[in-house]
Amino acid sequence: MTDHLPPFLHPFARPAADRFVEIVRGEGALVWDSDGREYVDALASLWYCVVGHGRTEIADAVGDQLRTLDAFHTFELFTNPAAERLAAELVAISPIEDARVFLTNSGSEAVDTAMKLSRLFWAWQGRPERSVIVSRDRAYHGVTYGGTSAQGLAPNKEHWGELLGGVVQVHADSLEDVERQLAEHGDRIAAVITEPVQGAGGVFPPADGYLEGLRDLCDRTGALLVFDEVITGFGRLGTWWGADRYGVTPDLVTFAKGVTSGYQPLGGVLVGPRVREVLEADDQRWLRHGFTYSGHPAACAAASANLSVIRSDDLLPRAPAIGDRLGPALHGMVEDGLAAGVRGTDGIWALALHPEDSALVVRDEMLELGVIPRPIATHSIAFCPPLVVTDDQLDRVVDATRTALTTVRDRSGA
Ligand SMILES: Cc1ncc(COP(=O)(O)O)c(C=O)c1O
């Protein structure tokens, strides 16, 4: 045991780490630390702060709600106006017609919910053997046992004991691999889950036709198609959903992050008519799944206010504009030999580093220059700024990236 360590045991960090940058304030795409240093938040915190920091209208909506009704559960027999209002708003923008929405506190819980609903869908039709979930390698689906089992990032799956059975992973880019699984085990497969653009696993947009191909394979075999839109939802791709951006309609959609821009924790699952029909068929059946805070009114009020800001600030078109500025600048760094490759689209980007450069070291160098990117899987640095980021702030991100890479490579003699 080490006495000097702070009491807060941090997520996704070394338990022995004793140095953290303390963020105390935010406004727009900027945040400040406790030493007064200003940073451009180049990943919208953890991909979630779509509308930027410091939006008082969202804070006010949460405060008003807490002063009216702090919380009351939504298990049978209760509901609250904030949850009902948000559900109606989400259903109105859903990429699936006639959807309903189940609410959770996080993306991981949303993924677990979608996995459970997929199995329930078949079990309630008398086909409990159709319980296998197919997911892609490089996928990130969160950290609960369901999400850990479905994600494709090996280090995140180690040392947790036995993971969920009945989860099969396919090669991330191979439709043929999915087709093979469906051909061999089609009558056991409940659902295929994918992020429309793989995010934390390295930022991989889908190859042309990939999502359409998945839809087609699912249609042919009856498997449900689940889009995990925890990152891609709420404007990151210039549309409300990745499903809209790529013109492919899934059966279930998981979301979190951008639904509140992080002002309160909230996630959920859009449940399309195919699943609804089975769930609602027998009036005597109970959905025995839910979280104490499903439909928490303060979280729902934050989400409704956040959706209003996305509309009133006309933020959806900002994502392609960000891509137009960031994409060519990142490509320029590859042309100049500073990095190995670029992946991304619209508001979601990653720069693949040369094997000899450390993503953590590049990140640290960028912090010194007043920019916070995120080192992610596949040896990359990720960018996904709030949609309110200004051109000037984007240029600061680009300049800091270029300078940091030059410094790191000069230092190593590369
Ligand atoms: C695609 C995807 N799914 C699920 C999750 C898990 O969400 P949470 O961290 O809110 O549990 C994430 C988080 O980054 C994600 O990117």
Atom of ligand 1 nearest to the CA of 231: 16
pLDDT digits (tens, 9 = 90+) for 146-205: 999 999 999 999 999 999 999 999 999 999 999 999 998 889 999 999 999 999 999 999
Report CA(130)–ligand 1 centroid distance (Å). Answer: 25
Q: Which of 111, 193, 266 has the most ligand 1 atoms within 8 A of CB, as the residue to mutate?
A: 111
Q: Is the pTM of this model over 0.75?
A: yes
Whether 106 lines ligand 1, by a CB cut-off of 6 Å, is yes
Domain 57-312 in CATH 3.40.50.10490? no
pLDDT digits (tens, 9 = 90+) for 287-324: 999 999 999 999 999 999 999 999 999 999 999 999 99
Delimit the CATH 3.90.1150.10 region(s) of the chain: 23-55+315-412
Q: With cut-offs at 50, 70 and 90, classify the pLDDT of residue 269.
A: very high
Q: What is the 3-state secondary structure (H, E, C) of the chain?
A: CCCCCCCCCCCCCCCCCCCCCCEEEEEECEEEECCCCEEEECCHHHHCCCCCECCHHHHHHHHHHHHHCCCCCCCCCCCCHHHHHHHHHHHHHCCCCCCEEEEECCHHHHHHHHHHHHHHHHHCCCCCCCCEEEEECCCCCCCCHHHHHHCCCHHHHCCCCCCCCCEEEECCCCHHHHHHHHHHHHHHEEEEEECCCECCCCCECCCCCHHHHHHHHHHHHCCEEEEECCCCCCCCCCCCCHHHHHCCCCCEEEECHHHCCCCCCCEEEEECHHHHHHHHCCCCCCCCCCCCCCCCHHHHHHHHHHHHHHHHCCCCCHHHHHHHHHHHHHHHHHHCCCCCEEEEECCEEEEECCCCCCHHHHHHHHHHCCEECEEECCCEEEECCCCCCCHHHHHHHHHHHHHHHHHHHHHHCC
Whether 258 lines ligand 1, by a CB cut-off of 6 Å, is no
Whether 228 lines ligand 1, by a CB cut-off of 6 Å, is yes
Query: How is domain 23-55+315-412 classified at the CATH fold level?
Result: Aspartate Aminotransferase, domain 1 (3.90.1150)
Delimit the CATH 3.40.640.10 region(s) of the chain: 57-312
Per-residue model confidence (pLDDT) at position 1: 65
Atom of ligand 1 nearest to the CA of 254: 3
Atom of ligand 1 nearest to the CA of 228: 1
Whether 169 lines ligand 1, by a CB cut-off of 6 Å, is no
pLDDT digits (tens, 9 = 90+) for 114-147: 999 999 999 999 999 999 999 999 999 999 999 9
